[in-house]
C-alpha cells in the first residue's frame, strides 16, 4: 500500500494532539493508494481503546479502511482491532507513539496480516 504524504501528516498530527488518548477515523483511496484520512465525529475516545463508529462514517466505495492510534510503542492490533478489521475495508493502519513518521505506522489487511506501506509524494510546484 501507499499513502499520500498529506493524509499521513493529518493522521500523525491528529494522533499527536489526542495523545495519550486513542484517535481514529476512516481512509479513502483507490487501488493501493490511500488518498485521504477522514476524522469521524462520533468516534469515542476512551481509556485505552477507540470505538470507531463505522456506522457514522460516510460509507461509499472510496472508503477503503480505517486508522487509529496507539498511545504506546506497540502498533500491533488488539483482539478488538482484529474483529473490527475483519468487518470492513482492505487496509487498516495503527499509528504508535511518538507518531513521528511512516516508521510509526503499521498497515494490516482485514485478516490482521501486516502489509507493507510507503509514502506517496505528490508533485508540488
Residue nearest to Zn ion (CB): 81
- With contact defined as beta carbons under 8 Å apart, do 28 and 38 qualify? yes
| Cβ distance to Zn ion smaller for residue 4 or 68 | 68
* Residue 114: Cβ within 10 Å count: 13
Q: Which stretch binds Zn ion (CB under 5 A): 8-16, 28-36, 56-64, 70-78?
A: 70-78
- Phi, psi for 23 (deg, rounded to 5): -145, 145
Q: Which stretch binds Zn ion (CB under 5 A): 35-43, 58-66, 74-82, 103-111?
A: 74-82
Q: Which stretch binds Zn ion (CB under 5 A): 23-31, 77-85, 98-106, 115-123?
A: 77-85
Q: How far is the CB of 50 from Zn ion (least distance, A)?
A: 7
CA distance 93 to 85: 10
| Cβ distance to Zn ion smaller for residue 4 or 70 | 70
CA distance 7 to 66: 12
* Residue 62: Cβ within 10 Å count: 14
Candidates 43, 71, 81, 96: give the one binding Zn ion (CB under 5 A): 81
| Cβ distance to Zn ion smaller for residue 73 or 125 | 73
CA distance 63 to 84: 15
Q: Which residues bind Zn ion (CB under 5 A)?
A: 78, 81
Amino acid at each position: 500500500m501507499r499513502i499520500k504524504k498529506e493524509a499521513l501528516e493529518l493522521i500523525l498530527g491528529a494522533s499527536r494532539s489526542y495523545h495519550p488518548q486513542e484517535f481514529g477515523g476512516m481512509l479513502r483511496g483507490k487501488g493501493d493508494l490511500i488518498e485521504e484520512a477522514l476524522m469521524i465525529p462520533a468516534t469515542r475516545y476512551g481509556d485505552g481503546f477507540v470505538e470507531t463508529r463505522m456506522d457514522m462514517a460516510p460509507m461509499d466505495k472510496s472508503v477503503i479502511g480505517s486508522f487509529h492510534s496507539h498511545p504506546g510503542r506497540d502498533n500491533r492490533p488488539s483482539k478488538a482491532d482484529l474483529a473490527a478489521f475483519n468487518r470492513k475495508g482492505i487496509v487498516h493502519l495503527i499509528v504508535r507513539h511518538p507518531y513521528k513518521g511512516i516508521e510509526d505506522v503499521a498497515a494490516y489487511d482485514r485478516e490482521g496480516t501486516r502489509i507493507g506501506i510507503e509514502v506517496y509524494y505528490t508533485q508540488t510546484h
